[in-house]
Structure 1
Amino acid sequence: VATVLMEVTLASHRQADFDRFERVIRDIPEIVACWSVGGGVDYVLKVMARDIDAYQRLVDGLLDREIGIDRYFTYVVVKTVKDDIALPIADLLPASP
């Protein structure tokens, strides 16, 4: 299994462009997380694919669907250093008086 992080920049930035992209992304099971981010790119996606070839086919399919992707960058995860699923609840809550 390949874990891939993908940065995506859309060609246009109208609300309808964001809505169209997000609607398609929600329906693709291999895309297990998608974050809209501030900064140099519009989205960061976490993709779980059978292998890199399957990931590339997924990307090719996204590009063929013409959902507004202008640029994308791929980062293949080669080693997981930390991937906690439990939230540090005590650290997130306000301090008690």
Structure 2
Amino acid sequence: MKSTPDAAHLDAWDIRILSEIQSDGRISKSELAKRVHLSASACSERLRVLQATGVIEGFYARLSPALIGGIVSIMVEVVLDRHRLEDQRHFEAAVKEIPEILDCWAIGGRIDYLMRVSSPSMAAYQEFMEGLLQAGLGIDQYYSLVVTKPVKANSPIPLSSLKRR
């Protein structure tokens, strides 16, 4: 088996394994092997390589915000006041350390970053954003988009379109 799979080198077995674990991250290795029609040892080795090479970034539990209670999701568009590389690096390093910021993407276009923020309330969110503005992160403008209901979230990556070898 190859030692460093990438998108161009994922074969049909790798794609089957990835499809299965995307839909059930808690599947046992023996059940996974059965579902993809590989021996347990071959399947375990492929899974190990997919993890070691970073194709599989990790496993986590998806929580229900509605059942946890009092969670507000906000998409925040951010425009920096300066666009030097050092300013971007400073902002990105700070964002990585802030737990309320669940996701952050650098964006090309009219904004610089799109963040997904979790907050216990709108009042707490406003306080959070005031703190961000005072933290010296170089935020010039921000626009808040409140998520009123999830329509589709945490979907698996569609692997069926990958070229199978």
CA distance in 1, matches of 2:150, 2:84: 36
CA shift for structure 1 position 85: 3.4
Structure 1 runs of 4+ aligned residues shifted over 6 Å read none
**Number of aligned residue pairs:** 95
What displacement does 1:79 show? 1.3
Matched, 1:10 2:111: no
Give the residue type in structure 1 aligned to 2:75.
L
The gaps in structure 2 that reach 5 residues or longer are: 1-70
**Equivalent residues in 2 for 1:4-83, closer than 5 Å:** 4-83=74-153
Distance in 2, matches of 1:61 and 1:90, equals 44
Structure with greater helix percent: 2
Task: Kindly provide the CA deviation profile for residues 29-74 of structure 1, in whole angstroms up to 9, marking residues without a partner as x.
Answer: 1100000000100000000111111111111111111210000000
Give the whole-Å Cα distance in 1 for the aligned partners of 2:115 and 2:77.
Answer: 6
- Please tell me whether residue 90 in structure 1 is matched to residue 160 in structure 2: yes
Taking structure 2 as the reference length, the TM-score comes to 0.55
Higher Rg = 2
Q: RMSD value over aligned CA atoms?
A: 1.2
- AA at the equivalent of 1:73: Y
- Pick which of 80-89 and 16-25 moved more: 80-89
Which protein is richer in strand relative to its size?
1
CA distance in 1 between counterparts of 2:123 and 2:96 reads 21
User: Runs of 5+ in structure 1 lacking a partner?
Assistant: none
**Identity across matched positions, percent:** 38
